[in-house]
Amino acid sequence: MTISNPILPGFHADPSMLRVGDDYYIATSTFEWWPAVRIHHSRDLVNWRHHSYALTRRSQLDLIGHPDSCGIWAPCLSHAHGQFWLIFTDVRSMYGAYKDSHNYLVTAPSMDGPWSEPIYLNSSGFDPSLFHDEDGKTWLLNQQWLHHPGQHNFNGILLQEYDRAAGKLVGPIKNIYAGTERGVVEGPHLYRRNGYYYLLTAEGGTFYEHTVTLARSRQIDGPYETMPGKPLLTAYQRQTDGLQRAGHASLVQTAQGDWWMAHLCGRPLEWSGPNAGKKAPDLNGEVDYSGLHCPLGRETALQPLTWRTDDWPEIHAGSNQPRVLVDAPDLPAHPWPAEALRDDFDAPQLSPHLNALRLPFDASWISLTERPGHLRLKGRESLMSLFEQSLVARRQQHFNCRAETRLAFEPANFHQMAGLLAYYNTGNHAYLNVSRALDGGARVLRVYLNRDGALTEPAQAVELADGPVDLRLEFSHAQFQFSYAQAGSDWRTIGPAFETAMLSDEAVTRFEGGYARAFGFTGNFIALACQDLAGTRLHADFDYFDYEARP
């Protein structure tokens, strides 16, 4: 069998991989999206399916008011002492010199839950992980954030003991690893093998310079020696087969003794799909990354790891760049039943592929029963709100795909809108919506484009006939296009084709004066939404939500 990367396409960043018996799990970051901490499951490392979410109650996590790309960062899964452990960061702010990042721990008797209420740990930095040592002790690691002017913000990896009986951190805090000259050391994970403690970290930042660095020590608190030579994994300045931005990794050992590394990656659209294998521009021996973008966000890939006689590991017989196709381990094949990509809203619960922003699904704004066979959304705040949006979305997981819905909506005025959209974040989205003309006359179909918070209407509104309207959003590599139909008519495009570049981390991220003023860490979503900016909570009914990958 062959593993085809990414194994988790679309927005699945910061993978933490765990094996328990014959089961493999990967937890990934979910940022401002709800439910939180997405967990996938495999038994052969080839076939993966969505398993569950860990944080499903507002008592465990409150994301109201969190800025875009804040929220849940870098969850870490482990299993020890008869239970599952999950540690995560809740980032509440990150722009400018400071980061308000709080680290928590939840536990569960099984991967199916129930997951406990969170235990607060610390706020000194982000990307926490737990290490359960052979002597029975449990240790916390996390990146340390330094806000002081003139100093590098990423100030090494901290280590402190966690007292399981007391449910709190105890003892001294030690900075055990400063990283290398690449800088931006983060994402720590500890492993023990052949008398060494191995510290796996990410460096270089999460864009094209991203790197996996490994260090080791005979003592858990160091000193740590960085692996000599090149880093363990990077795609930076490499002419890869489409995988870039490789970093933030975790390791797992199979029951047969093989080692594997899960890592995040990005697929620049310009080097993927029809352009797979295309050589990147080479400027004086350096790869030109200008103009690249990854609209599917940061994804999860797997690479095999082998150990040399000097007790240092390597991937792909000495190469340290990621590959799309790798030979699978010798495990019994375990495919899963095909997942339904269409939701007719006939079941008592939503598809697990569907997510909300910042708040759980509840009857105050969403219903599957008030109009059976339909998803009812009750209009709330605007698409730029950090508080109460009525929006249900799924990840875009293919460069070429089509999404479609049927909408019944009778707005009374222009304050009320409902429809289908491509959504990266509050300031970057494109929205095909049904509303009412400004004069209160005809019901109309509009296209709104929001780029960096500036709203434009790039097409003339279309007057609609009575009855429901079918809405479609189609992605074709570097562009996406809206269309509509009514009463069995042919599909008609509305508005221009837009560039997918506006829906990417690269387009959103901005630095000024040495500080981040905007960051993008997620990926594009396709969403159903309803707004009532007058506050009357007029509802919209969606008959189905269909997502289909295209060649």
Phi–psi pair at 232, nearest 5 degrees: -65, -40
Within 13 Å, how many C-alpha atoms sit on residue 508's CB side?
26
Confirm if 310 and 214 have CB atoms less than 8 A apart: no
Q: CB neighbours (10 Å) of residue 4?
A: 14
Nearest to 118 by CA among 176, 60, 45: 60
Enclosing H/E stretch for 81 = none
Confirm if 84 and 503 have CB atoms less than 8 A apart: no
Residue 134 is a catalytic residue: no
Nearest to 31 by CA among 505, 510, 541, 513: 505
Residue keyed to tokens 């970051």: 29
Residue 470 is a catalytic residue: no
The letter for the amino acid at 290 is S
Torsion of CA 282, 288, 294, 297, to 10 degrees: 110
Helices and strands in the chain: count of H runs, count of E runs: 1, 44
Cis-peptide, bond into residue 6, ω within 30° of zero? yes
Confirm if 211 and 315 have CB atoms less than 8 A apart: no
What is the C-alpha separation between 510 and 513, in angstroms, rounded?
10
Q: Tell me the residue ranges of DSSP E strands in 43-118.
A: 49-55, 71-80, 83-93, 100-108
Q: Which residues, listed in sequence order, are joined to residue 357 by a DSSP beta bridge?
A: 33
Confirm if 69 and 32 have CB atoms less than 8 A apart: yes
Among candidate residues 44, 68, 127, 186, the one labeled active-site is 186
Residue keyed to tokens 């990656």: 265
Nearest to 419 by CA among 494, 341, 536, 531: 531
- The residues annotated with a catalytic role in the active site are 14, 186
